A and B are shown apart, each in its own frame.
Chain A
Amino acid sequence: MTSTHAAAPPNGDRRTAKQKIAVRLEPWLYSAPVLILIVAIMLVPLALGVSYAFRDIRLLNPFSGAFVGLKHFRELAGDGAFRGALVNTLWWTFSSVILQFLFGLILALLLNQPFKGRALAQALCFLPWAVPSFLSGLDWAWMFNPVVGPIPHWLYALGIMSEPSNILSDPETAMWGPIVANVWWGIPFFAITMLAALQAIPKDLYEAAEIDGAGPIERFRSITVPFLAPTMAISILLRTVWIANFADLIIVMTNGGPADRTQIVASYIFTQAFRRLDFGYASAIALVLLVLLLAYSMLIVILRQTMLSRH
């Protein structure tokens, strides 16, 4: 900065006010197309969506549209179905993420070992990622159906079930259906990210540790985990937010039922907006979900920063 000051003419700026304004505006003009796009595509819908939360917007009521203040939020506070959905969301999100992560990590560790046909195995393991979520939802719904699918019969044969029935229709077990489908579908994401991180660890660290006397578990604890931790944190964060918002499998497999036992906040928003056509209320729920997820994200980002700064 100091050098530009030094280069300025010593007897002050002789440009006219008009020229000065033009100079000021110039960078904004160059970035205008992008700025307009960002505002139009991202900020306007966001603001509109947020504003809906404070208005009475029901598609079937032509007189709706008035500003109602915090009415939706007061309603929400007393809405038992919403509270149920919140609990279900926690359950759905964390069991999906944890299982996806664990299996993904195990898969990555296996794929990181040299063996014959490893390239093929890697390609196959990443296949579920390519299956559209609706298709995998349908697939798994059929697999859990005792009429056409094998899983209830296997569970019965193993003695886990007293008779081959559909877990999706039992309120006690229904949530496990979409979770299993989600885990199957999401493992490749973790496997890919963890495998990439694993392959970046220098091999001679393991060798040095082996000579120093560390067994396989100790090597995993003292080398693999610290190296993977930042990647783990960021991928878990991304997946958590994503899965909390991810209603496809639930809509397809159970549609929130039976008895709302698989209703998560995201599918509840969907139900409010497109079944009951109450966009105002749906927006209010969405806003609450947004705030919760933002808070969670901040937490993880801070955690990651402290972890990285310790390195």
Chain B
Amino acid sequence: MASITIEAITKTFGAVPVLHDIDLSIGDGEFVVLVGPSGCGKSTLLRMIAGLEDITAGEIRIDDRRINEVAPKDRDIAMVFQSYALYPHMTVADNMSYSLKLRKTAREKIAEAVGAAAGKLGLDPLLQRRPKALSGGQRQRVAMGRAIVRHPKAFLFDEPLSNLDARLREQMRAEIKRLHKSIGATSVYVTHDQIEAMTLADRIVAMHGGIIQQVGNPLDLYDRPANLFVAGFIGSPAMNFVEGHCRAGVIETTDGSKVAIPDGIQLAEGQAITIGVRPEHVRIVATPEIGTYTARVDLVEPTGFGTIVHVHLLGQDLKIYTLERGIAVVGQPMHIALDSARLHLFDRETTNRIG
């Protein structure tokens, strides 16, 4: 087990910059999830920790040892690939014991380690099979098994669940979490699935365009997104954004409606603002009151547990997530309240959170 320190890391492929000045420290035993849209550089950062990509500038340390120049095999880390990368001509047992054999571990020790890992992952009946004869979920388990037999200092995961169907993904997600609880090894996990990020992470690192946007525990990112990107990325259905300007102590939206400025927030006159409000925080009220809005229902999407209602309001297609069934009928008007404590304000110029 180990801590990982990433200091001022920059990566360029040829002339193309991919990562800009990344700083991150990962504590001993911590489970950190790198999340962000496709192409933001998550895999690149992970592969730099693994030693599969050169470091253009900056330094990576594992337990205070600089590893920029250390070969992957000497970093004592294990990686689980999206494609699993199992050796197709070796049995499951051989796949799992390969790294130990290369390290000249004693035969009994190998058998013991493989047995223990297989037990943990329920791979015992599959040990003599080849990867070809396994299902996707089983392959995924073997890939995990191959990583854990070695007791490495850290685990790196690159979208390990993205080739599985939704149900299996949920199951494996829980299993990974359980495994981490029992092994307690430092883990860096890459995904573009925000649910995976929220459920697994001790800390989430949200990335966009090769820049870290926000680092924090999952609920922090949900409750206080640092900028428009994080606000839009975390949460499903995604946050509503309403554009407006600060005029005479209120925010005037593009359609002329007025939204009260939440307490304790100072805005400059004329400042361009984006208001963010999560669909689950928009309230539907029975009767119009002061400060409520009225809008016609455009679309109703039942999701089973809840319902997503689309209304046209504040110059936007505004989504509302409600647990009440039958409350919305397409074409009928509806009264809506926005709690000012639940509003997120962002400066539209800098895209940063205000307050």
Contacts and interface: CB of A to CB of B under 8 A. Distances in A.
User: Chain A, interface size: which category?
Assistant: 10 to 19
B85 A207 contact: yes
B352 interface: no
Interface string B119-134: 0000000000010100
Contact of B87 (A207, A222, A310): A222
Given A204-B85, A207-B79, A211-B77, 7 more contacts: A204-B83, A207-B52, A208-B146, A209-B87, A211-B99, A213-B73, A218-B102
Contacts of A211: 50-52, 72-73, 77-79, 99
Interface of B: 50-52, 71-73, 77-79, 81, 83, 85, 87-90, 98-99, 102-103, 130, 132, 146
A226 interface: yes
A205 B85 contact: yes
Contact of B98 (A204, A212, A215, A311): A212
Most B CB atoms within 10 A — which of A209, A211, A213, A222? A211
A202 interface: yes
Contacts of B88: 226, 311
22 contacts: A204-B81, A204-B83, A204-B85, A205-B85, A205-B87, A207-B50, A207-B52, A207-B79, A207-B85, A208-B85, A210-B72, A211-B77, A212-B102, A213-B73, A213-B103, A218-B102, A222-B98, A223-B87, A226-B89, A310-B89, A311-B88, A311-B132
A209 B87 CA distance: 9
A151 interface: no
A214 interface: yes
Most B CB atoms within 10 A — which of A209, A213, A215, A227? A213
Contact of B99 (A205, A212, A223, A227): A212
Contact of A214 (B73, B81, B130, B132): B73
Most B CB atoms within 10 A — which of A207, A208, A223, A226? A208
B104 to A, nearest CB: 10
Contacts of B83: 202, 204
A151 B263 CA distance: 93
Contacts of B79: 207-208, 211
Contacts of A213: 73, 99, 102-103
Contacts of A223: 87
Contact of A202 (B52, B85, B89, B132): B85
Interface in A49-73: none
B254 to A, nearest CB: 48
A29 to B, nearest CB: 44
Contacts of B90: 222
A310 B94 CA distance: 14
A13 B102 CA distance: 71
B52 A210 contact: yes
A310 to B, nearest CB: 7
Contacts of B51: 210-211
